[in-house]
């Protein structure tokens, strides 16, 4: 269970660009149930990635606090793991060694490491690529390693920062299906930052929609589509309910995207 | 076989004799090596001819064969070893010191802002002034033995390692450090498992540059108040107009330089294969 309590945050602006503070999150409160899949959706620069990093403890908010299981978040913890948009694999380590890194950081012994590496690599279908370096893997495979690395530490909370944003659209759809399949095994709480409306609807129980910068919560939408969704993904995406969600969300989002576009044009 | 076949298909007619196809194939795969060998051979041949034919005075230039004979002789009678050991002692000590001091200082400068801001003016001042100018001072401080030479050569080699290491450490991908943090890595784990491996290619490049400088400064150090060493040998031979011996010293120094350089290049590739991958990212 995650409680975001009145978070506000601003970045220091580069003095060459006039200095001062650039507010990115404005008074955001949010409750996330244990075991649910929640997407943060909004235009670029609306602070959703920053909010995710605050929840994980990588960034300390200027106002407000985040509580995970009723404890205030001050730094990253062992029960929260992160998947990054750019994969962030260590280029000098193989797929297996990259997973080992997360386990080493959390103090797992050699034997436990070997077991978990084998298990999670098999989970993401890369058991034959354990000894490949990141530069030898495709984008989709790299992110599979990124996901395996996050799952290897058995987190209760999985934070995903546009995990499929750097992948081509077809691989992206396959990865979404695989992710749902993976998550079916255990009851993890997932928070996903995404730009993609379809991705948010297909994966989430709840979608939190943000305004243009500084990010405020516009509305929260409960996605009431039957699970498991990975088996009949085509029907679900073609269903009238899915289309209605997409229409509703885009209707709200369009104005914000236009606003953030106008903003960025002014900035230039 | 496919290579040969495709070569033949590419050739009009396709019925050229086997030997000719084989040559074309060898050329295709070893073009660089063959070009280099031919170029070096032509220069050596011209050099040999110009001296042996008497067009160039042997006092000014020795022929490659004369140099080779002298080189062989100096190893055969063992007279060269004294000089190699003398230079080697200075070179190895200063190399060890340069790496042992340069890498930690560079890491500290790259990681700790206070250290960087404190040391930077001194490093810039030293890096911009000619090291050789310190030699008289070093001789006053440390005498004319091995110590003053080691210090001079160390000063000549250490800064390029510091500067490269610092560049490597401060260029570590911040996203990787953040990733490590997100998995609750400690500061010491971040240093050992992210910062050092990621700056290793820079460090090795710095060491490679330092080796070149160390060889130069060993020769310069032996210019003054020496009784042995390859630098001493070269200048002694020069004073005696013993041109082949000058070349013997130069050839040995060049060989050591080339070997060290190739070894460190190989190490760079082994340690950071992703930097040389065409796919990269």
What are the tens digits of pLDDT across the range A12-48? 888 887 778 889 999 999 999 999 999 999 988 889 9
Residues of B with CB below 8 A from A104's CB?
189, 193
Query: How far A231 CA sits from the closest chain B CA (Å)?
Result: 32
Strand partners, A220: A208
pTM of the model: 0.80
The rounded radius of gyration (Å) of the Cα atoms in chain B is 25
Whether B268 shows a pLDDT value over 90: the answer reads no
DSSP alpha helices (H): ranges in chain B?
A: 2-10, 18-29, 31-52, 64-76, 81-111, 113-128, 135-142, 146-170, 174-182, 187-190, 196-221, 230-239, 243-271
Note the pLDDT tens digit of each residue in A129-187.
999 999 999 999 999 999 999 999 999 999 999 999 988 888 899 999 999 998 987 88
Residue from A58, A92, A153 whose CB has the most chain B CBs within 10 Å, to mutate: A92
pLDDT for B108-139, tens place per residue?
Answer: 999 999 999 999 999 888 878 888 888 889 98
Question: What 8-state DSSP symbol labels residue A13?
Answer: P
Nearest-Cα distance to chain A for B194, in Å, is: 8
Residues of A in contact with B182 (CB under 8 A): 56, 58, 76, 80-82
- pLDDT tens-digit profile of A77-132? 999 999 999 999 999 999 999 999 999 999 999 999 999 999 999 989 999 999 99
With an 8 Å Cβ cutoff, is A33 touching chain B?
Answer: no
Which of B178, B184, B200 comes nearest A105 by C-beta?
B184
Read off the pLDDT band of B6 (50, 70, 90): very low
Q: Indicate the residue of A58, A105, A153 with minimum beta-carbon distance to B178.
A: A58
Counting residues of chain B whose pLDDT is more than 70, the rounded percentage is 91
> Coil, helix or strand for A214?
coil
pLDDT of residue B214: 95
Chain A residues within an 8 Å CB radius of B202: none
**How would residue B277 be classed by pLDDT, with cut points 50, 70 and 90?**
low
Q: How many CB atoms lie within 10 A of CB A153?
A: 20
Residues of B with Cβ-Cβ distance to A148 under 8 angstroms: none
Query: Which residue in A74, A81, A86, A91 has the most chain B C-beta atoms within 10 A of its own C-beta, making it the best mutation to test that interface?
Result: A91
Three-state secondary structure string covering B14-68: CCCCHHHHHHHHHHHHCHHHHHHHHHHHHHHHHHHHHHHCCCCCCCCCCCHHHHH
Say if B279 is an interface residue toward chain A (CB within 8 Å). yes
Q: In the numeric block, which tokens belong to residue B241?
A: 């107009």
Q: In this predicted model, which residue has the larger pLDDT, A191 or A168? A: A191
Chain B contact present for A43, CB below 8 A:
no
pLDDT band at B250 (very low <50, low <70, confident <90, very high): very high
Q: With a CB-CB cutoff of 8 Å, which residues 153-182 of chain B face chain A?
A: 175-176, 178-182
Which residue is listed with tokens 């649910």?
Answer: A36
Look at A135 and B280 and tell me if their CB atoms are within 8 Å. yes
Mean pLDDT of chain B: 88
Contacts A–B by Cβ distance under 8 A: 68
């Amino acid at each position: 269970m995650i409680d975001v309590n009145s978070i506000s945050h601003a970045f220091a602006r580069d003095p060459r660009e006039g200095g001062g503070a650039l507010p990115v999150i404005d008074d955001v409160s949010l409750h996330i149930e244990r075991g649910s899949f929640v997407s943060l959706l909004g235009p670029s620069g609306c602070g959703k990635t920053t909010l995710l990093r605050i929840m994980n403890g990588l960034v300390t908010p200027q106002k407000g606090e985040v509580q995970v299981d009723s404890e205030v978040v001050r730094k990253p913890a062992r029960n929260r793991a992160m998947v990054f948009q750019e994969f962030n694999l260590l280029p000098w380590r193989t797929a297996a060694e990259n997973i080992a890194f997360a386990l080493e950081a959390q103090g797992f012994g050699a034997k436990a490491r070997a077991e978990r590496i084998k298990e999670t690599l098999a989970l993401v279908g890369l058991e034959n690529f354990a000894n490949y370096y990141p530069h030898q893997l495709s984008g989709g495979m790299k992110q599979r390693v990124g996901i395996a690395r996050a799952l290897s530490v058995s987190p209760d909370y999985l934070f995903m920062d546009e995990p499929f944003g750097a992948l081509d659209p077809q691989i992206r759809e396959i990865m979404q299906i695989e992710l749902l399949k993976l998550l079916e095994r255990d009851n993890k709480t997932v928070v996903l930052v995404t730009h993609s409306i379809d991705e948010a609807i297909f994966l989430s129980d709840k979608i939190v929609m943000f305004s243009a910068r500084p990010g405020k919560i516009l509305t929260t939408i409960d996605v009431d589509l039957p699970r498991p969704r990975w088996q009949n993904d085509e029907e679900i995406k073609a269903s009238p309910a899915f289309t209605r969600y997409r229409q509703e969300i885009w209707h709200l989002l369009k104005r914000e995207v236009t606003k953030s576009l106008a903003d960025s044009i002014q900035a230039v | 076989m496919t290579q040969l076949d495709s070569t033949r298909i590419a050739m009009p007619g396709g019925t050229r004799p086997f030997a000719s196809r084989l040559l074309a194939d060898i050329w295709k795969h070893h073009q660089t090596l063959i070009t280099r060998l031919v170029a070096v051979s032509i220069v050596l041949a011209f050099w040999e001819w110009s001296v042996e034919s008497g067009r160039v005075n042997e006092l000014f230039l020795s022929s490659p064969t004369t140099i080779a004979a002298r080189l062989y002789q100096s190893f055969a009678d063992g007279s060269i070893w004294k000089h190699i050991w003398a230079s080697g002692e200075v070179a190895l000590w200063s190399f060890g010191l340069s790496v042992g001091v340069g890498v930690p200082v560079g890491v500290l400068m790259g990681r700790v802002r206070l250290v960087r801001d404190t040391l930077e003016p001194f490093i810039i001042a030293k890096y911009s002034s000619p090291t050789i100018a310190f030699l008289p001072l070093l001789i006053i401080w440390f005498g004319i033995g091995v110590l003053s030479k080691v210090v001079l050569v160390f000063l000549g080699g250490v800064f390029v390692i510091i500067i490269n290491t610092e560049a490597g450490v401060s260029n570590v991908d911040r996203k990787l450090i953040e990733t490590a943090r997100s998995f609750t890595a400690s500061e010491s784990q971040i240093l050992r498992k992210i910062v050092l491996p990621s700056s290793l290619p820079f460090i090795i490049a710095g060491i490679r540059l330092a080796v070149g400088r160390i060889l130069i400064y060993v020769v310069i150090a032996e210019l003054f108040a020496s009784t042995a060493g390859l630098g001493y040998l070269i200048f002694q031979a020069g004073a005696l107009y013993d041109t082949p011996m000058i070349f013997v010293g130069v050839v040995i120094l060049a060989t050591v330089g080339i070997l060290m350089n190739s070894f460190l290049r190989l190490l760079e590739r082994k340690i950071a294969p992703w930097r040389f991958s065409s796919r990269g990212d």
